[in-house]
Amino acid sequence: MINAIFMMGGLGLIIGAVLATASKVFYVYVDPLVERLDDALPGANCGGCGLPGCTSNAEAIAAGKAGADSCVAGGAELAEEIAAILGVTVEAKEPDFAGPGCNFGCDDAEIKYLYNGINDCRAAALHYSGMKECKIGCLGFGNCVKACTFGALVIGHNGLPIVDEKLCTGCGACAVACPQNIISLTSVTRRILHEYTSNDCTTPCQRACPAGINIREYIRLADIGDYNGALQVIKERNPFPSVIGRICPAPCELECRRKLIDSPVSINPIKRFVADYERKSGKRVLPYKAPETDKKIAIIGGGVEGLTAAFYSARLGHSPKIFEATDKLGGLLRIAISKERLSHEILDWDIDGVLEMGVEVAKEQALGKDVFINSLLKDGYEAVFLASGGWDARLGRNAKTKVEELIPGTYLLIDLIDSGNENKNDMKIASEVVIVDGGKATLEAVKICKHFGVKQITVLFRKKRKLLSLDQEILTNLENEGVELLFNVGVTKISGEERELKALDYIDFETGEKKNISVKTLLLSSGRLPELIFRKEVTQEEEKEEALNNSESRIKWEGVEAHKQPFGGREKGLLSNSDVLSGYIAAVKALGAGRRAAASIHRLMYDIPLVFPDKILSDTSILQDVNHLEGVVSSPQQIMPVYDKRELSENGEIEKGFTKDMIKASAQRCLQCGLICYDGELSLKTAPEFEKFFEKFENKKIILNVAKLEYISSAGLRSLVILIKKLYATDGKLGLVSLQGIVREIIEVSGFADLIKTFETLEEAKANL
């Protein structure tokens, strides 16, 4: 017994010694900081930080490879806690949320085939990208819901995922799990920067709208009486709903699918109604803003584009200030539209809404006279955006006969021609002149410049030499006179120092080669100055030198072009057909231009490349679409009522606006389209109406001609069951005529062919039912 005890004790001592030695030999040091960080992290291991798990993120934070706010699941509170552990501060970060991109119910969407495989979206997607006709349609098996570890996603009654933003952490796990790529992270910033692509579930009206408003959604909300919600949707892309609701030419209505049946939905009057609802209530509906930044932006011009750029810059969290040359904001909207069409009261209401977003204004401050690009950059503005307009805008500034030098050394070519050899406009023509796309006026401009003694003249043409309308002999004569001609090129940037223009960059469209040339005077052939974004042009060496000297050096600046219109293609260089606003025909286009300008400024300030996504929508985009409708009942379009002569003098406006009943009737005409979906099938949305119609039919022989029925969902089959039971209980009968395609297949596969008699023709049904 004693021997056994000693033996066990000795064995224990040996094992203990071995373990002690092993603990020393194989000891792994764990950083106490990593342990503290790991304890603070939520332990969800969602992967939203881009790392395998919370421990990996803790190690990355401790090593300085990840920020205190890298855990998206923890939100702002956790970021502050981790920052406190690290002894640092953390900036407010805009939260992301999951945003499902499919808008049409899974039960209602058209299908290519019947899928009987496992209930998994990835498995279904392996077969011709899924069973739905729509290439970006939700497959409805809920992989996104299974991937969410926070319970923020559920499948709704229509088979589509619903996001609870209070629970969503923006980790992105659902987006990774979706094989159709219809779920993506969204935020205020992401939505403002976003341009529609062929992967977005857009509607014909939305694609036709120059501002890109989600028309389908605001009509849906107006239909259920949520007018403030509808206005929030409108203000996502349009800060002037009251104004545009009165003056927009409504290109959206030209593309409305209801035209295939009767007449388009009255879209613009619905926008006007919800905007007037806000104004009459006196309670402003302000859209969401991103957390504030410390970045100041100067915007030159208080017209539609300038105000819109300021509005979206404020929504992005920046501090915009508008410098307006006159004593009133609004530009041409104030001076070029009759008050009966657009009253100043309505205009000022929308303008005040822009200013309430945190936009500052300095009136009677003209660029080139009261303020200058270099002085604004010296005063701490990170960007200066030029939205001064063209010749038409000069009328509002009483500057019709005045030559404006808003950009140092830059003029409109028409001003030089008008000035003539006498230089009656007192233009400052320096020794190095560059003329951009002068056309037939080039020859006259060259003569005037030579009269002023200019020796170095360069002319840039966007077209190839043989495609120009100018006579080749004229071009040859110019070259013989020492004028340098460059063809098939476009200006991409201008640069200068203080109040002097120094150089410009241009690109050769054929080779893609970029070159820089010296310039003191720039003459543009357009009727307006291009919308350029100016910022400091400072090298790292200059920044270091300025910091060492503790003094401000001379301001070097550069002016770059903002985003082009996606509808104009991908043309590069100034004065292209796709310039932000060149040739715009309506104020609504200025809204899209202003938003893109704000997005461009934001990207430049954060060094994000100014490029559009690959599949951006344009006039040449090939989409799945609908060219005919089935199952849609004709209904009359609501027409805008107008005041008579006596009422006009009392109310001041020509149009009365829609009533609530007219709004309801108009909204219910909307087909709530998707990319290819619409309300015109026997499905979840139409089945209740179908059932209600046949409530009164008993003891009847009913023949349904379903030749135009393209699809029947499970909800539609249920409606048929209800009708069959009702008829059979009262000795009634039901027959279907002209079953086609997928509807025939669904009826046969589901076993309904044994319950319902089917016939090829109506005559056959009448004779045999």
642 and 692 together in one domain: no
Two tokens, residue 99: 């945003």
Q: Which residues pair with 173 in a beta bridge?
A: none
Most confident of the ranges 146-160, 351-365, 638-652: 351-365
Assign 3-class secondary structure to 58-98.
HHHHHCCCCCCCCCCCCHHHHHHHHHHHHCCCCCCCCCCEE
Decide if 678 is inside a domain: no
619 and 642 together in one domain: no
Whether 189 shows a pLDDT value over 70: the answer reads yes
Q: Name the strands in the sheet holding 410-412, side by side, starting at the edge strand that comes first in the sequence.
A: 410-412, 521-524, 432-436, 456-460, 484-486
Whether 137 shows a pLDDT value over 60: the answer reads yes
Whether 363 shows a pLDDT value over 70: the answer reads yes
350 and 440 together in one domain: no
Whether 94 shows a pLDDT value over 90: the answer reads no
Decide if 136 is inside a domain: yes
Whether 735 shows a pLDDT value over 80: the answer reads yes
Between 272 and 565, the higher pLDDT residue: 272
d(Cα 84, Cα 165) in Å, to the nearest integer? 27
The b/e string for 5-24 (b: 16+ C-beta within 10 A; e otherwise) is: eeeeeeeeeeeeeeeeeeee
* Mean pLDDT confidence for 23-42: 74
Assign 3-class secondary structure to 689-700.
HHHHHCCCCCCC
586 and 648 together in one domain: no
d(Cα 178, Cα 99) in Å, to the nearest integer? 12
**What is the pLDDT at residue 391?**
65
Pairing of strands 319-324, 296-300: parallel
pLDDT tier at 37, thresholds 50, 70, 90: confident
* Mean pLDDT confidence for 584-597: 83
Q: Give the number of C-alpha atoms closer than 13 A to the C-alpha of residue 265, restricted to the C-beta side.
A: 29
d(Cα 414, Cα 523) in Å, to the nearest integer? 9
80 and 152 together in one domain: no
**Residue with token string 């809404």:** 353
**What is the pLDDT at residue 107?**
63
264 and 302 together in one domain: no
Name the phi and psi angles at 501, rounded to 5.
-85, 135
Q: At what angle do helices 344-355 and 304-315 cross, to 10 degrees?
A: 30
6 and 117 together in one domain: no
Whether 370 shows a pLDDT value over 90: the answer reads yes
Most confident of the ranges 108-112, 214-218, 526-530: 214-218
Decide if 196 is inside a domain: no
d(Cα 45, Cα 62) in Å, to the nearest integer? 17
Whether 26 shows a pLDDT value over 70: the answer reads no
Last residue of one domain, picked from the residues 623, 654, 677: 623
For the chain, give the number of residues.
769
On whether the CB atoms of residues 613 and 330 are closer than 8 A, the answer is: no
Last residue of one domain, picked from the residues 186, 221, 256: 186
3-state secondary structure of 504: strand
* Mean pLDDT confidence for 467-496: 91
Assign 3-class secondary structure to 136-198.
CCCCCCCHHHHHCCCCCEEECCCCCEEECCCCCCCCCHHHHHCCCCCEEEECHHHHHHCCCEC
Name the phi and psi angles at 560, rounded to 5.
-120, 155
Its domain, for residue 117, covers 97-186
Last residue of one domain, picked from the residues 471, 494, 528: 528
**What is the pLDDT at residue 415?**
87
**What is the pLDDT at residue 242?**
96
d(Cα 739, Cα 654) in Å, to the nearest integer? 51
319-333 pLDDT per residue, tens? 999 999 999 999 988
Decide if 546 is inside a domain: no
* Mean pLDDT confidence for 130-155: 89
Decide if 543 is inside a domain: no
* Mean pLDDT confidence for 474-497: 92
pLDDT tier at 684, thresholds 50, 70, 90: very low
**What is the pLDDT at residue 660?**
95
Nearest of 425, 434, 491, 495 to residue 462 by alpha carbon: 491
108 and 177 together in one domain: yes
d(Cα 464, Cα 470) in Å, to the nearest integer? 11
* CATH classification of the domain holding 87: 1.10.15.40
3-state secondary structure of 609: coil
Decide if 485 is inside a domain: yes
* Mean pLDDT confidence for 676-688: 61
pLDDT tier at 504, thresholds 50, 70, 90: very high
pTM of the model: 0.81
Q: Which residues pair with 737 in a beta bridge?
A: 705, 759
Decide if 403 is inside a domain: no
Between 628 and 170, the higher pLDDT residue: 170
300 and 389 together in one domain: yes
Query: What is the number of domains present in the chain?
Result: 7
**Residue with token string 């360069």:** 458
pLDDT tier at 695, thresholds 50, 70, 90: low
**What is the pLDDT at residue 584?**
39
Q: Name the strands in the sheet holding 701-705, side by side, starting at the edge strand that comes first in the sequence.
A: 701-705, 733-737, 757-759
Most confident of the ranges 108-117, 415-424, 590-599: 590-599
**What is the pLDDT at residue 583?**
39
Nearest of 279, 303, 297, 288 to residue 360 by alpha carbon: 297
217 and 263 together in one domain: yes
Whether 53 shows a pLDDT value over 50: the answer reads yes
**What is the pLDDT at residue 582?**
42
Neighbours of 554 (CB within 10 A): 10
544-586 pLDDT per residue, tens? 555 555 556 789 999 998 876 765 555 677 777 656 444 335 6
102 and 158 together in one domain: yes
380-394 pLDDT per residue, tens? 999 999 998 766 677
Q: Which residues pair with 371 in a beta bridge?
A: 367
Helix ranges restricted to H, 255-411: 267-281, 304-315, 332-335, 344-355, 373-378, 391-396
* CATH classification of the domain holding 344: 3.50.50.60
**Phi-psi domain of 349 (left: phi exceeds 0; alpha: psi -120 through 50; beta: other):** alpha
End-to-end CA distance of the chain: 100
**Residue with token string 């899928």:** 115
* Mean pLDDT confidence for 412-436: 86
294 and 323 together in one domain: yes
**What is the pLDDT at residue 266?**
96
Greatest CA separation for the chain: 127
Two tokens, residue 337: 């539209």
* Mean pLDDT confidence for 692-719: 70
Between 190 and 64, the higher pLDDT residue: 190
User: Which amino acid type is present at position 75?
Assistant: G
Whether 630 shows a pLDDT value over 80: the answer reads no
Mean pLDDT of the chain: 85
Decide if 141 is inside a domain: yes
